[in-house]
Structure 1
Amino acid sequence: MFRRRTKPIKGHYQSIALLEEVVLGGIKQFVLIRGENKANPIMLFLHGGPGTAQIGFAPKFQKNLEKDFIVVNWDQRGSGLSFSPEIHKEEMTIENMLQDGVELIKHLLERFQQSKLFLVGHSWGTVLGTLIAENYPHYLHGYIGIGQVANMKKGEKISYKYTLKKAEELKEEKALRELNGLKFNPYDMNYLITQRKWLTKFGGSAIGVSDFNLIYSNMIFAYEYTLKDWMLYMKAGRFSLESMWTQVMEIDFLTNPLQLEIPVYIFAGKQDYQTPSELAANSVNNLDCPHKEFVWFDHSAHLLNFEEPQKFYGQCLRIKEMLV
C-alpha cells in the first residue's frame, strides 16, 4: 500500500519477480518482470490508451502466462508509474515511444541472453507493436495484436454508429440526448469521453470484465502500485491521451497493405466496437507476412486478454510451441 514491490514467485526453477526502473529515451520508466523460469521466452506487453498503464492490474490475469513466459509489463512514458511532471507534451510522440520500445526490447534480450521475444500489443499498443514488427522484425519471434488498430478514422465512425444504435434499441433517453447533442469529432476529448462512456455501458468495450475488476479492486491490494500511484493514475492517463491522440487518429494500416517479415496473430473480441473487430479482420486480409492467423474471442469485446484470460493463455501457449 505504501511501498512498491511485487510478490515473489515460488517454484522448481529459477524464477524472477522484479519491479524495476529503467532509463529509456533518457526518461526513467518502470517495468514489471515476472516468470517462474528465467529460461522461458520473453513476452512483452504494450498497453493501450495511450496512457492505460497496466502494471497495477495485469499480473492477477497473467498467472498462467508466468508459468511459460517471462512476462514483462511496461508503463510507457507519461503513464502509470512512468508519469512525471517533468515530461513535456512535445516529448510524447509515436516516434519517441517506438524508440523507447526498441530500447527496452534490446535491454530485455541482453539481460536474459535471448535473441528474440514475443511482442503483444493492445489497442494503442497495437500501433506501437505493428511499427516495431515492421521496422525491427529481427528482435521478434512473432507479434500478437489485441484490439488491433486498422484505420482510426473509420473505426471511430463505426464506434459512434454502434453506440447510437444501441441507445436507440434500448431507448436509453439520456444516452440519446447526450450522443445526439454531440458533434461527431473524435479528435475532441469531450466528445471522446462521452462516446466512450456510453460505449462501455452498452458492452462495446468490455463484457467479461468490469472497471471494478480491473482497476478499483486493485487500488488497495495491488503490491506494484501505492495509493499515491493510483491517485496519479487518471491524471497520467489523461496527460498521455491528450498529448498523443491527434497523432494516433492519423494511423491507417488499411490503405497501404503491410508487409511484415514475422508471424502475426490478431486476436479480436466479437463485441469490440472500440477498435472495431471488422476492421481488424480487414487488416489481416491486407497483410503480407510468412504466417498469419485471425482468432475470434466470442465472449469478449476490447479487453479479451482480461475478459477471457484462460483462452488467451491457451492461444499464447500454442503460438509458443509453434515458434520456439
Structure 2
Amino acid sequence: MLLTYRALKRRALAKSLRITAPNGVDESSYVRIGGLDQWISVRGEDRSNPVLLELHGGPGASNSIFTPRTRAWERHFTIVRWDMRGAGRTFAAHGPAGQGELTLDRLYADALEVTDHVRARLGVPKVVLLANSFGTVTGLRLARDHPERYSAYVGTDQNIIAGGTDTSAYDDLLARLRGAGKRRQLSRLTAMGPDRAAWSPEEWSCYAKTVTTTDPLTYDTMKTVVVRSLWFSPLHTLRDLRAYLQGMTFSEQLGPQVMSLDEYAEGTAFHLPVFLFQGAEDVLTPPEPARRFHDQLTAPLKDFALIPDASHFAAFRRPDVFLELLVGRVRPVVTGVGVEG
C-alpha cells in the first residue's frame, strides 16, 4: 500500500515537472569535471531568464530531491543543480572509491569548472550563485574571488565560520539539552567541547543530528520537507535514494575541514551584490552570525532578510517566500529591469 501510494505520488509530481515551453530547457547528464564525470541538470521555462547555479549542502546532500518543491522558481530562473563529488548521482556512478580527492579545495576547483561549463553551455557571461548550508562555505569563497563569473551571490542557511570564536550555536544546543533533561546527549556534546575543528567526522555528524532532532521546528522540517522530498522524488528510484544517503555518510569527512576557516580573515570585501536570506528560527546556522557578517561586509549592494516560520532548509520549507525574495530583490539587480538609477 505504501509503495503504491509512493508510485502514484511520484507519477503526479513527474507530470508537474514537465517543461513544454518553446524556449524552455530540461537537460541532465554527466559532465567531465575535475577528472570525474559529475551529474548536472539544467531546468527552466525560458532560456532568456537569469541562470542560477546552486551549491548544495550536506555535505553530500544533492538538492535534486527538492525539484518539485521549487518548480515555480523555474518560471523566473534557469536552475542548474550539480551533484558534487561525494553526492547524489555523482557518488552513485563511481562509488566511494571513485570520488577522487574530497577536500574543500577540490570542491572549489570543481565549482569553477562547473561555472565555466554552464556559462559556455547556456551562452551567458555570468550566473547567479545560490549556496545553501554546507555549500555556502565554498560559495562565499567563490563570490569573494570571482566577481567576473557571478552576477550576484545568494546565501541561505549561511554558514559563517569565524575561526572558532563563535560558539553560540553550540552553547544554545547545550542549554536546550540541559533544559530538556537529555543527560546522555548533554554529556557527549560537553565532552566533545566547543572547538569544532578538533571534532572527528563522527562527532561533527553527531552534533548536526543532535541539533536537528532536539529543535521542534527543525525536526518537523526534516520529516515534512526533507524526508518526504526524498521518498516521493520522481527523479529517484529506491536504489538512487540508497546511494543518496550513502553519499551523505561518505561526505561527512568534509565537515571538520571547514571549522578552521575564518571568513573575516579571508575578507569582507565583495565586488558583486550579496544577498543573505536566513530562516528566522534556524538553530543549525543561526541568523545572528550571518547578520553580523552582512553588516560588516562591503559590496556594490547587499541585502539581508529573515524567512519566517523557517529553521534550517529555509528555502525548501518556504519556497514561495524564498521565490518572492529572489524575484523581488535579486532578479531586478542581475537583469537591470526595475532597478532605478
Q: Same fold (TM over 0.5)?
A: yes
Matched, 1:59 2:71: no
Q: Please tell me the residue identity of whatever aligns with 1:211.
A: K
Pick from 60, 70, 95 the counterpart of residue 85 of structure 1.
95
For the Cα contact (< 8 Å) 1:273–1:301, is it kept in 2?
yes
Residue deviations 1:72-91 (CA, integer Å, cap 9, x gap): 11110111111123656761
Matched, 1:226 2:234: no
Matched, 1:47 2:56: yes
Name the SS of the counterpart of 2:226 in structure 1. helix
List aligned pairs for 1:146-185, cutoff 5 A. Answer: 146-151=156-161, 154=164, 157-173=167-183, 175-176=185-186, 178-180=188-190, 182-184=192-194
- CA shift, 1:193, in A, is 3.2
Alignment-derived partner of residue 323 in structure 1: 334
- CA shift, 1:259, in A, is 1.3
**Separation in 1, partners of 2:62, 2:19:** 26
**Separation in 2, partners of 1:172, 1:93:** 34
Matched, 1:275 2:249: no
Residue deviations 1:17-63 (CA, integer Å, cap 9, x gap): 222111111101111211111221111110012211221x1202211
Pick from 32, 35, 43 the counterpart of residue 34 of structure 1.
43
Pick from 72, 76, 93 the counterpart of residue 80 of structure 2.
72
For the Cα contact (< 8 Å) 2:200–2:256, is it kept in 1?
no
Instruction: Give the gaps of 5 or more residues in structure 2.
Output: 1-5, 8-13, 336-341
TM-aligned CA distance change 1:148 to 1:155, over 3 Å: farther
Number of residue pairs aligned between Structure 1 and Structure 2 = 318
For the Cα contact (< 8 Å) 1:204–1:271, is it kept in 2?
no
TM-aligned CA distance change 1:298 to 1:17, over 3 Å: same
List aligned pairs for 1:1-324, cutoff 5 A. Answer: 9-55=18-64, 57-83=65-91, 84-85=94-95, 87=97, 91-151=101-161, 154=164, 157-173=167-183, 175-176=185-186, 178-180=188-190, 182-184=192-194, 186=196, 187-203=199-215, 206=218, 209-219=221-231, 221-242=232-253, 244-318=254-328, 319-324=330-335
Instruction: Give the gaps of 5 or more residues in structure 1.
Output: none
CA RMSD of aligned residues (A): 2.5
For the Cα contact (< 8 Å) 2:86–2:96, is it kept in 1?
no
What is the TM-score of this pair, normalised by structure 1? 0.89
Percent identity between the two aligned chains? 25
Residue deviations 1:265-292 (CA, integer Å, cap 9, x gap): 0111122221232111111122121111
For the Cα contact (< 8 Å) 1:204–1:302, is it kept in 2?
no
Q: Which moved more, 1:199-208 or 1:186-195?
A: 199-208
Name the SS of the counterpart of 1:254 in structure 2. helix
Residue deviations 1:182-205 (CA, integer Å, cap 9, x gap): 555532233333332331123287
What is the TM-score of this pair, normalised by structure 2? 0.84
For the Cα contact (< 8 Å) 1:142–1:264, is it kept in 2?
yes
